[in-house]
Structure 1
Amino acid sequence: MAEAVVEEEAPKQTRYERYIEEITEDITNTVQEFGVQPILFVGSGLTKRYMDGPSWEELLGYLADKCSTIEKGLGFYKQSLGHPIEIGQEFSRLFQDWAWGAGANEFPKDLFEADVNKHSYVKYKIGEFFKGIKPAAVAGLKADFQPEIEALAKIRPHAIITTNYDEMLEMIFPDHERIIGQQLLKGQQVCIGELYKIHGCVTDHDSLVFTKDDYQEWDKKKKFLSAKLLTFFNEHPLIFIGYNAGDPNIKAILSDIDQALPEKGGVIPNVYILQWDPSLKDDSWPQRDKVIPTEDDRSVRVKMIVASDFGWVFDAFAANPALAHVNTKVLRALMARSYELVRSDIPKMKVEADFKMLNSAVESSEAFAKLFGIANINDYSAAGAYHPMSLTEVGKALGYKGWHSADALIWRVTQKTGTDIKKSDNRYHRADKVNKTVFHKYSADAIELLRKVRDEEEYQLDLGIPAEAK
């Protein structure tokens, strides 16, 4: 008598694994819905994570130890002056005194010319400090985080904005064009593949925004940045990495965004804050949104992502098959050349390169990649042609604004039938794995099925795969 075969049960999904799955789907659908690459806002927390860079307080502590005219400990200045920017202003004054006295040998001779800015001395030492912790290459960053760093690089962001002084991002995104401080206010950028270092860079110590005087001067001239931020907000997913939710830089940026919101009080659908939490466990269910106070007693709600490992978050933002091999540097050059081809008497306009355009072009033209020389995209299979739509496109075909309502209909199917159509490849759904993230695509059959669910009509699931989809 044959022995009964006992099938092993699949391991039960933990609460945090379910959280990862839901957040991942939210990210990928948001990226698809906007149809363009995300914008990254990067703070000092990421430099600290990958190459032991300092927090603002640690930087002030280093400066206090370095300068002999700073006779009292950092705690004294925190008590007396309170705000770090005020402390930076006072430290700059004390560094100038030191440079023109006992510390003269610590600075190059050209810093003692009459036209040198009084804040140059403290900024020179800040530049020295950051150059001292700079690794030679990306491989020199912390080995434990190499998979995370590789996942970050695969996002291929439309642009990066950072308040960091260091050059870590240049190593991770070597094809992005660096624009430092006041350069942002000059000329016309190509608007893709750019790294905006809005508080300066160690390659030019005088560009650093560090003292109270610097911040006041920057506030006077940041209108151009604010306008660019509003354009980014309207057109791209945004993710803040390496900032505390209460960081004054986040508050300032979100305050600008808040002014443009058509509706107040709801969660901004395309703005995420990534927060590190090393204490997460299998049964953790972190918060999904965060209220951030801005200015004039106002506040905004943004999406919160809580993780101890950032790799799955970066994979989700990078889950874009059509742009998997786009060379940012070549795309920048192509767009820059397109500006030169425009007659000088015709107003120039911004060129948008989004993956909706790439996606449709790939499906209709085998020569797309060769024509533009910016992507190496494999031919779509028959399965890809049968399942061409994102969940956002399915939702819009059903008359909704986005993907959330379509996802709710899929959940109703799961509740009624016990079958989640997203868990397998079938006539309604197909899953592609890009990096480590599952990328969901849907067919016209899925639209018809969900239409019946929406209208409360009878339906029968047929999970078979049609011959033309194989």
Structure 2
Amino acid sequence: MLEKEILKMKNKINEKGVPPIFFIGAGISRRYIESPTWEELLMQIASTTDCNYYELKNNVNNNFERLAQEIEYFVFRSLMSSEIINEDRRFFMRNNIADILKKCFESQRNSLVVNNEIVKLKKTRPAAIVTTNYDELLEHIFGDDYSVHIGQDSVLNKNVLGVGDIYKIHGCVTDPSSILITKEDYDNFFEKSKYLYAKLLTIFWEYPLIFMGYSISDRNILDILTIMTEIMSKDEINSFTERIWLLDYSSSSEDVSVEMKNITLLNGRVISVTCFKLYDYGVFYEAISDITSKKLPVKFLKFLKKNLYEVCTYNEYNKQLLDVNIKNINDIDEFTEENTYIGITTKNEKEDLKFQISEEVIELLIEPLYKQQDKKKVVVRELLQNSLDACKKVRNKVKYEINIYYLKEEDKHYLKIVDNGIGMNFNEIKENYLTIGKSSKKDTREGLVGKYGIGALSMFLVGDNVDIITKKSYEDMIHFKLFIKDGKKQVIMLENNSKETSINSFTEIKIQLNDNWNCSNVNEFISKIGLDNYITNKNFEIKITYDKESTILKNIESKLDEWFDIVTDNVYLINEDKMNEKTQEGNKSDEDKVLYNIFKQKNIVFYNDMISNVIYEKDNYKQLGNYSIPFLIINGKLESMGLETELSRNTIKISHKIVESIAVKIYESEIIKLINFLVDEKENYQLIELKKIIKNKFTLINNNCDILFYNNKLALTCSQSCYHIEIWSNHFTDFQFETDYKYLIEQYIMDKKSIADQIENESIICISVKYLYDYIINATGSRNGLRQKALLMILKHILPEEHWYKDTNADIWSNVMSRKSDIKDACNQNNYNGLIFLKDEYRMLFNKLYNKSYNQYYIIAFKNKHVEKNIDNNFSNILSRYLEENKEIQGILEII
């Protein structure tokens, strides 16, 4: 059976004509260098701190990503201040991880040389390797023939070759900062993973895939296969899964098998793949090496991929390579094998313009990337971003102009965009514009938006023919055409028949649209292309023309100083109070109305002249919680401060120093309002009323924070070790202890199930007689009364001399019905101001309550509850500073 299935796999790989891609997970490192499991790794790290590992593990419900996030905090907290200078908080735990794994590898380095399985694995020649492992085992096995790319960005920002590469997508010990380990890391990774796999998709599509060292339910496998199968038809999926194999571990040489395994993907789709469950992996490695050793050497294939204008067609070793175009003939000698024929042709440089990427790239990359977005808006956004960037590259220009037109010529419709930016010359067109995934904007300091090199392809979303005329200062004007013919994307150079222009540099792009974008007027057109929510920065004029009707987009500069607060250099946050105050005036201009409607949006950023949605990383700023952050403006290149753009640029992620600055600004604003409110209203309300108003009025305090009562004051806690009594009531009564005990009063609708749970957990200090009347004395059974266990615990407490335990629930309630009078008397005799105490040790504490009857209320108190909602340290520090400066409210509010 095993031999038959291995032969079947070999035939399938040979049929494909290319070596497989390996996906290698943690199981391989554990097998050969005895690296720790994820939990063992976290336990080692935790042991260097003062955290309670098992308590943290329970708190996060055994979620290792969240557990790593918590341990990271303790690692950072355990450091001396001198150790953290100039280092990000993420560095220290990851550096420890790198040290642990390096020691594992070094301890097994000598044994790897004689390991029979490693010797056989070393002879395999996969086309490429994708791994989530951090260690250097694979580099050691496969040697210098394979180039190593570390992290997602190294793939997204490179022209992927797809041959002889190791992609370490979760990071590497050689660069500890690249290691993914916490929930924050993985959330960021899986948020961007669709762009990573989309970029690798052209490789995955053509090659067999072998997964080893992964569980069949591993999140990484599910993520990869889900993204790849989302754009396939049913027949394509069947063909695709036939060339996927999973290598799994068997604990015994007697228990080896090959079977079809069903995998339920993240989108609910189920696929079947062949799973080899083996004790000795050597037999599997030998099968792979048998077929891959017949292919051309990896080093030679890498050379071809790097140096060909065209992607060459190759088959088995010793067979002819077709249509190969070599740039440097002298490089051939190093790689040529006996009987290997290489055809060499030369072409005129300017005739050799073409897209250097798979013809299916639109379907494989661009369509999935933008499928949830309006294609019209996507294309306009991409073109506008390129125009903005082109303009910013022109130095000392007084005014940047961008014109967007909708044109109707005979029965054809066109979208045209013209800018007076820097323009392009032939080399830039060839090396950057037409090389997908390559951009000239990555390392600039102008605050450019585009950097992924996919703008040219996006135009094919709305049209199959594009005319481009461009001119760079002091260089010739260039006219070329992009088009799709017979399903293939092509480029041709055209004679330049354009009239001479006095403009030093410009680019004009004209797309023949596949369908009509008819609108009734220019404003409807602006809305259709997604620019109704758009503003411009200084020096820019963006003009929109539809059917001879034109308008200019609004400029932000007039309101920057008037409506915004400076958060930090080049970061501005809308001051909603200022904006509302200015726009309430009766003479509000039309421009103010337009800008108001834009600036009132939340979780939106105007970043380097483009408006995008924002994801804020708020983990360290609990008070922000679900708080919707007001409109933000960011100028310049701030990636080092925590700004990250996704590939489609529809959303921006903001973290680290930028979020910290925003949090401080918002915290200060809210705290000043709170202080002013307390100063003005402290004489007008009781504490219980002030608490209720604060919870309703001040969003940041209501987020993830409880307001306690302590020493006849309101108290906010920043300590997770704080305990308090929690009092539930259906009425906000004027509870007030003359004690330093911490307590919390909350108003709840108390269902009998939740109360029964607390009774059975023995968490209740006292419970109101009214509650017992309604759910015991006036009840007729468990349907409208307390459930059995809770009922018996209450009855045993108020009438301990009675034996309440009966065989059935019906018998218990029958006994209750017959003893109602005794139960009522016991409740009346044992209560204090309407409360029955189940924990006598707290009775003296409650004697401090105002002498008031609570017979009309549901009131239940819980013992020593742990504070779970507290203010974060940033909020606490700012509030402490303002309390120090305002002595008159120190008797009302404090931090504990």
Q: Please indicate the TM-score interval, normalised by the length of the shorter structure.
A: 0.5 to 0.7
Partners of 1:42 and 1:25 in 2: how far apart?
Answer: 22
Deviation track 1:201-260 (CA, whole Å, cap 9, x = no partner) reads 111110111111111222333333211443233211111111111211111112112213
Pairing 1:209–2:162 present: no
Which position in structure 2 is the counterpart of 1:199? 170
Give the distance between the partners of 2:290 and 2:233, measured in 1 at CA: 29
Offset of 1:311 from its aligned partner? 0.8
Name the structure 2 match of 1:440: none
Tell me which amino acid in the other structure corresponds to 1:96: F
How far did residue 35 of structure 1 move?
Answer: 0.7
**CA offset at residue 353 of structure 1?**
5.8
1-side partners of 2:133 and 2:335: how far apart?
30
Q: Deviations over 1:281-318 (max 9, x none)?
A: 2xx56241111122133322111111100111111112
Question: How much does 1:85 deviate?
Answer: 0.7
Q: Is residue 317 from structure 1 mapped to residue 293 from structure 2 by the alignment?
A: no
Distance 2:110 2:169 in 1: 26
Larger RCO (CA under 8 A, 6+ residues apart): 1
Kept after mapping to 2: 8 A contact 1:323/1:355: no
Report the equivalent of 1:276. 249
Task: Give the deviation of 1:359 after TM superposition.
Answer: 4.5
Would you say 1:243 and 2:233 are equivalent positions? no
Per-residue Cα deviation, 1:390-415 (whole angstroms, up to 9, x for no partner) = xxxxxxxxxxxxxxxxxxxxxxxxxx
Q: CA deviation at 1:21?
A: 1.0
User: Given residue 124 of structure 2, which amino acid in structure 1 is its aligned partner?
Assistant: I
Structure 2 match to 1:50: 32
Return the structure number with greater strand share. Answer: 2
Match of 2:261 in 1: 290
Cα distance in 2 between the residues matched to 1:142 and 1:278? 23
Partner in structure 2 of residue 428 of structure 1: none
- CA distance, structure 1, for counterparts of residue 220 and residue 277 of structure 2: 20
Distance 2:57 2:332 in 1: 60
Counterpart in the other structure of 1:68 = 49
Long gaps (5+) in structure 2: 322-330, 341-896
- Structure having the larger proportion of residues in helix: 1
Q: Which of these residues, 374, 389, 392, is aligned with residue 335 of structure 2?
A: 374
The counterpart of 1:360, out of the listed 319, 326, 336, is 319
Number of the residue aligned with 1:397: none
Distance 1:360 1:253 in 2: 33
Query: Between the two proteins, what is the percent identity of the paired residues?
Result: 30
Higher deviation after alignment, 310-319 or 251-260: 251-260
* Matching of residue 25 in structure 1 with residue 25 in structure 2: no
Say whether the 8 Å CA contact 1:322–1:377 is kept in structure 2.
Answer: no
SS at match of 1:156: coil
Q: What is aligned with 2:357?
A: none
Paired with 2:231 and 2:77, the residues of 1 have a C-alpha distance of: 45
- SS of corresponding position for 2:274: strand
With over 3 angstroms needed to count, the CA separation of the structure-2 counterparts of 1:352 and 1:168, relative to structure 1, is farther
Q: What is the DSSP-based 3-state SS (H/G/I as helix, E as strand, rest coil) of the residue aligned with 1:222?
A: helix
> Which has the higher mean CA deviation after the structures are superposed, 51-60 or 292-301?
292-301
* Residues 258 and 300 in structure 1, CA contact (< 8 A), matched pair in contact too: no
1:77 to 51, 56, 61: 56
CA contact (8 A) 2:46 2:75 kept: no
Distance, in Å, in 2 between the alignment partners of 1:375 and 1:26 is 32
Structure 1 runs not aligned, ≥5 long: 1-18, 343-348, 363-369, 380-470
Shift of residue 330, structure 1, vs aligned partner = 4.1
Task: Kindly provide the amino acid, as one letter, of the partner of residue 78 in structure 1.
Answer: K
Query: Which residue is equivalent to 1:164?
Result: 133
* 1:367-446 correspondence runs (5 A): 373-374=334-335, 376=337
Matching residue within 302, 305, 309 for 1:332: 302
Q: In structure 2, what is the Cα distance between the partners aligned to 1:223 and 1:296?
A: 13
CA contact (8 A) 2:256 2:277 kept: no
Equivalent in the alignment of 1:299: 270
Judged with a 3 Å threshold, the aligned counterparts in structure 2 of structure 1 residues 190 and 231 are, in CA distance, closer, same or farther, namely closer
1:226 pairs with 2:197 = yes
Contact kept in structure 1, 2:314 and 2:320, CA below 8 Å: no
1:260 paired with 2:236, answer: no
Matching residue's letter, 1:58: E
CA deviations on 1:122-175 (whole Å, 9 max, x unpaired) are 1111111112222389644274xx221122122211100000000000000112
How far residue 375 of structure 1 moved from its aligned partner, in angstroms, is: 6.1
What letter corresponds to residue 266 of structure 2 in structure 1? E
1:89 is displaced (CA, Å) by 0.8
**How far off is 1:23 after superposition?**
1.7
Larger radius of gyration: 2
- Conserved? CA contact 1:276–1:306, under 8 Å: yes
Change (3 A) 1:76 1:297: farther
Contact 1:69 1:97 in 2 (8 A): no
The aligned residue for residue 567 of structure 2 is: none
Q: How has the CA–CA distance of structure 1 residues 26 and 292 changed in structure 2, closer, same or farther, with 3 Å as cutoff?
A: same
The answer to whether the 8 Å contact 1:200/1:209 transfers is yes
Size of the alignment, in residue pairs? Answer: 326
